[in-house]
Each structure stands twice: as C-alpha cells, then as structure tokens.
Amino acid sequence: MKNLNGVNVIAVHAHPDDEAIWTGGMLSDLAMRGANVLVVTCTLGEQGEVIGEPYANLVADKADQLGGFRIRELQKSLKTLGVRGTFLGGAGCWRDSGMAGDPANQHPRAFTNAGDEAVEQLKSIFLTHPPHLIITYGPDGGYGHPDHIKAHEITHRAVEQRNLVTPILWAVTDRRRFDEGVAVITAPTTAGWRMPQPNEIACVTSSDIEVRLSDAALAAKVQAMKAHATQLWIADGSINDTNPVAAFAPIIDPEKAPFVFALSNLITQPLLRFEHYQIGTVVNVSTRNTIEALVAGELEAGRSSNGAGDTTDGEAGADDHRGGAGS
C-alpha cells in the first residue's frame, strides 16, 4: 500500500521518546505515505534522568521540572516524524510512575494506578480518530516498565470496550538483530559508556513483522531520537545545548548498526535499521496480509519468525534508565 490517504494509525506510548525509539521509523514512513498518524503519550516522563549538565537539576528529586521540558522535546520529535500528538487526558493528567518499586509508583497521578478513567480517555480518542491500526507494547511493556504495561492494558481494554476489530501491533526488540548490531560496535570511547552484558537488554526471540527502514525513515527516526536530548545520546560526534559533549563509537558494519546510542544508563546500544512487531490480536490470514501490506510500502516488511506472544529475555529494556526513570 503506497498511498495511505484516509488511513488512521494510533500509537499509544508511555513517555516522550518512546515514539522515536520503538516506532519512529515506521510511523515516519506511514506518515510520508499519507497516513494520518496520531501519537498518544500517556505521561510527561517526569521520573527520567537527564543526560548533560545544563539541565541536570530538572529531575524529579530536585526542581521537578523535567516533564514540562520534555514536552518541547516531544513536539520536536513529532514534527520530525511528520505525525500529530496528544497527551492522554491532556498534558500532566498522568504522571510517570518510574520503575517497579520506585516511590513514584505511589504518586496520586502515577499512570501505573490509572484505571477506568484512562480507558475512557483512550476510548474517546478512538471515537474521534477511528483507527485502522494501533501500535503499543506487549503485556510486559517491552521490558517491565509499569507505565508501558499500563499503556498495553488500557489500549486492549479500550479496543474491547469499543468493540473494535482494529489490529494491534506490539513494538519489540529482536534478539538476533540486536546481538548482530552489538557485535559490530567497537568499544565506545566516551567516558562512562559501556557495552551491554549478555541478555542485559530485554529482547524477544521472535516477531511477526520485521520492517527494514528506508533511508528516509531511518534518518527521520535518528533525528526524532536526537530531539530527546535529555534522554538519548547518539554517538555520532554531535552536540547540542542540552548535552554539549560529543560521543563516539566506531561501527564495523553500518548495515547491522547504522548508528549507536545510549540512554542515561550509558549502556551502548545499536540503533538498528530494523523495527520489529508482534501481532497482538487474533487475526486471520487475510487480515495479516493486510497488516503487512499496510506497513510495507517503501519499507520492506516481512515475517521474522512465528510467535506473537513469544518470551522476552533480559532485564533492562530499550529505554530503561538507572534509578527508575520512565524513559
């Protein structure tokens, strides 16, 4: 499907930057082909850590101003991807919960405790923007973050309660592709950065759809990730006002790892040319073929290996931070 005029796609994400890290390439390509793409962000990411000294005091246990700052980063990312955005319930309705066990879990507005109100808010969005395709995370949220898990839960509840037959895709990280990417990265030269330990980053062993990003989609994803400068550090020698320090990580094979990045935990990760998705709803062969045709276009979409509900291995996720940050 080259021309997607009239096709509505909704991506439900937990925090600013998730839209870029997990789904930026495909969202950009869908938008470039005419789809009406709406990103629903559930929190402001208030519990995140901050990369770089200039805005380090914005974190929750100091000025607690990071959430507002990240709105600007999200707006820049969405503009780069060519998609629209909205906050579930409005900006600041729900607060980043932090990782499981973080005291932030007990905040009155913590998203992890959201119930029927959040479901109703999402149902209203589905009513005004009837989706042909929905993207979110799997039951484990991709790596166990409470807000990612909650995003999964309210998405499926909203779909069920509105009796929608819209297919849902779960964004995942593929173990084989990730390990291939790590293998072609030489040791980073930036102070504090380190290579990941085996199985440290949560990945799946199989997925239903593997999407090879076009050059345009990959470029948009990289720039969208760069927009989240408090959270992401691309090792390409670039600097910005938020993080005026350059990072470098030589790559042996740019096809397997076109770029390298780290989050505030400074664990080196490959920024892959591929995105992977599991089909999160029961679909027949015809519907599956339609999904693959929808995401194909200029991208090369194909089946990876069977098992939409396959297990996840590893402890930390693709957007995990030290100290319970919410991406």
Residue 235 has pLDDT above 90, yes or no: yes
Judge whether 15 is annotated as a binding position: yes
Tens digits of residue pLDDT in 206-221: 999 999 999 999 999 9
CA distance 318 to 173: 7
Kind plus residue range of the DSSP H or E element containing 210: strand 209-212
CB of 30 closer than 8 Å to CB of 37: yes
Residue 307 has pLDDT above 90, yes or no: no
Residue 49 has pLDDT above 90, yes or no: yes
CA distance 138 to 170: 5
Q: Which CATH number fits domain 8-313: 3.30.300.30, 3.30.70.2200, 3.30.390.50, 3.40.50.10320?
A: 3.40.50.10320
pTM tops 0.85 = yes
| Rounded average pLDDT over 110-124 | 98
Proportion of the chain above pLDDT 70, given as a percent: 90
Residue 321 has pLDDT above 60, yes or no: no
| Rounded average pLDDT over 295-324 | 46
- pLDDT of 295 reads 85
Query: Residue 42 — very low, low, confident or very high, per pLDDT cuts 50/70/90?
Result: very high
- pLDDT of 192 reads 95
- pLDDT of 293 reads 85
Residue 298 has pLDDT above 90, yes or no: no
Q: Report the relative pairing of strands 168-172 and 133-136 from DSSP bridges.
A: parallel
| Rounded average pLDDT over 137-145 | 97
Judge whether 18 is annotated as a binding position: yes
Domain boundaries, the chain: 8-313
Residues near 160 by Cβ (< 8 Å), separated by ≥ 6?
Answer: none
Provide the mean pLDDT of the chain. Answer: 92
Judge whether 148 is annotated as a binding position: yes
| Rounded average pLDDT over 99-124 | 98
User: Which residue's structure tokens are 């906050």?
Assistant: 87
- pLDDT of 314 reads 52
User: Which residue's structure tokens are 């402890």?
Assistant: 315
Residue 198 has pLDDT above 90, yes or no: yes
Residues near 315 by Cβ (< 8 Å), separated by ≥ 6?
Answer: 143, 199, 200, 202
| Rounded average pLDDT over 45-65 | 98
Query: Residue 205 to residues 9, 34, 118, 133, 316: CA-CA distances in angstroms?
Result: 26, 32, 32, 24, 15
- pLDDT of 311 reads 41
